[in-house]
């Protein structure tokens, strides 16, 4: 399963990297209508979701993540999509479409400018006006995304022409390492407590016994408080 996942990820990553490099190349005369890696992305996502649902790495429960964190309802089970999610999806789709149009216009303007002739002046002027309109539109949309926080590290990935999903992968890896580190510290503190109680028991046995009794009472007191006497007694 892991080998299949890695193969699908590498296939999609290679496709996306090649596509992205051609897309931002101002000298490219290719007009890209859609993302050629969309189908590979669907296959990769299905494989990823299947792996998360089956193996649950990092104790990730995919369904719980959808319900509690992403607040996504399963439409296939007959549940309606929340209104808030619908509004959020609409604004992001609008922003995505605006950015794609702006990038495509900027790329086409670069193509015109790189091979400029006397006939290119009018199309170039039109592209400049289109870019200005796109900037005005994005400035108008910015107030809808004041609540969205984007990690600066993600922008560095984009500047380096890297797949943004690599950022998610490395975040999960760092989280796993941090989790191991924290668990290691917890185990060390547990061992330290055991050794400390042992040493205290040898040096101050009476005080240690008193401490253990008080600790046991505190640990059992919440359960005792929850017990309710039977009225029939």
Q: Are 102 and 157 contained in the same domain?
A: no
Which own/partner pairs from 103-112 qualify as long-range (CB within 8 Å, at least 24 positions apart)? 103/23, 103/24, 104/31, 104/32, 105/130, 105/131, 105/134, 106/131, 107/23, 107/24, 107/25, 107/26, 107/28, 108/31, 110/26, 110/27, 111/26, 111/27, 111/28, 111/29
Residue 76: predicted pLDDT = 43
Element (H, E) at 56: none
Residue-wise pLDDT for 49-88, tens only, equals 777 677 666 566 666 666 655 554 444 444 444 545 566 6
Give 226's pLDDT tier (boundaries 50, 70, 90).
very low
User: Among the three residues 148, 166, 200, which one is the final residue of a domain in this structure?
Assistant: 148
- The share of the chain scoring above pLDDT 70, in percent, equals 67
Residue 127, domain member (yes or no): yes
Residue 34 falls inside a structural domain: yes
Is 66 within the bounds of a domain? no
Is-above-0.75 flag for pTM? no
For residue range 201-214, list pLDDT tens digits in order. Answer: 888 888 888 888 88
Domain that includes residue 30, residue range: 1-57
Does residue 62 lie in a domain region?
no
Q: What is the pLDDT of residue 159?
A: 86
Residues 194 and 138 in one domain: no
Looking at the fold, whether 158 and 213 belong to one and the same domain comes out as: yes
pLDDT, residue 215, reads: 80
Q: What is the dihedral of CA 20, 24, 28, 31, to 10 degrees?
A: 70
More confident residue, 230 or 96: 96
Pick from 14, 7, 4, 2: which is nearest to 163 by CA? 14
**Domain identity same for 50 and 93:** no
The C-alpha torsion from 88 through 152 and 111 to 115, rounded to 10°, is 160
pLDDT of residue 40: 78
Contact 175, 159 (CB under 8 A): no
Q: Name the token pair of 134.
A: 């796109």
Exposure pattern of 30-40 as b/e (b: 16+ CB <10 Å)? Answer: eeeeeeebeeb
How much is the mean pLDDT over the chain? 75
User: Concatenated DSSP letters for 107-134?
Assistant: HHHHHHHHT--GGGHHHHHHHHHHHHHH
14 with 32, same domain? yes
The pLDDT of residue 62:
62
Of 198, 195, 197, residue with least CA distance to 187: 195
Considering only the C-alpha atoms of the chain, give the largest distance between any 2 of them, rounded to a whole number of Å.
103
Of 115, 148, 181, which residue sits at a domain end? 148
Same domain flag for 23 and 35: yes
Residues 138 and 183 in one domain: no
Candidate from 38-42, 142-146, 176-180 with smallest mean pLDDT? 38-42
Count of domains for the chain: 3
Looking at the domain assignment, is residue 233 inside a domain? no
- In a domain? residue 205: yes
Q: What is the pLDDT of residue 79?
A: 47
Asked if 35 and 94 sit in the same domain, the reply is: no
What distance in Å separates the CA atoms of residue 102 and residue 96, rounded to the nearest whole number? 10
pLDDT reported for residue 168: 86
Where do the H-state alpha helices sit in the chain? 2-23, 38-55, 62-64, 83-114, 121-141, 152-159, 165-203, 205-226
Q: Looking at the structure, tell me whether residues 128 and 156 fall in a common domain.
A: no
Does residue 1 fall inside a structural domain?
A: yes
Judging by beta carbons within 10 Å of its beta carbon (0-12, 13-18, 19+), is residue 110 exposed, middle or buried? Answer: middle
Q: Last residue of some domain: 148, 170, 198?
A: 148
Same domain? For 130 and 181 the reply is: no
Judge if 21 and 51 occupy the same domain. Answer: yes
One domain for residues 184 and 172: yes
Q: Provide the terminal-to-terminal Cα distance of the chain, rounded to the nearest Å.
A: 60
What is the pLDDT, as a whole number, of residue 228?
45
pLDDT tens, residue by residue, 84-127: 556 667 888 888 888 898 989 898 888 888 888 888 888 888 88
Residue 43 has pLDDT above 70, yes or no: yes
Range from 1-5, 124-128, 153-157 carrying the lowest mean pLDDT: 1-5
């Amino acid at each position: 399963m892991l080998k299949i996942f890695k193969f699908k990820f590498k296939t999609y990553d290679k496709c996306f990297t090649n596509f992205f490099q051609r897309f931002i190349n101002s000298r490219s005369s290719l007009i890209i209508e859609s993302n050629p890696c969309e189908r590979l992305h669907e296959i990769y996502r299905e494989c990823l979701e299947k792996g998360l649902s089956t193996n649950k790495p990092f104790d990730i429960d995919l369904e719980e993540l959808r319900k509690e964190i992403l607040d996504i309802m399963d439409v296939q089970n007959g549940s309606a999509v929340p209104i808030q999610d619908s509004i959020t999806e609409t604004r992001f789709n609008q922003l995505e479409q605006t950015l794609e149009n702006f990038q495509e216009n900027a790329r086409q303007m670069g193509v015109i400018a790189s091979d400029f002739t006397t006939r290119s002046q009018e199309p170039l002027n039109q592209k400049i006006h289109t870019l200005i309109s796109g900037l005005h539109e994005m400035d108008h949309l910015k107030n809808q995304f004041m609540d969205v926080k984007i990690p600066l590290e993600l922008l560095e990935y984009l500047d380096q022409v890297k797949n943004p999903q690599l950022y998610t992968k490395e975040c999960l890896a760092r989280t796993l390492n941090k989790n191991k580190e924290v668990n290691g510290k917890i185990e060390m503190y547990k061992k330290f407590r055991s050794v400390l109680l042992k040493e205290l028991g040898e040096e101050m046995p009476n005080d240690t016994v008193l401490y253990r009794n008080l600790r046991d009472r505190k640990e059992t007191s919440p359960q005792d408080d929850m017990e309710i006497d039977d009225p029939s007694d």
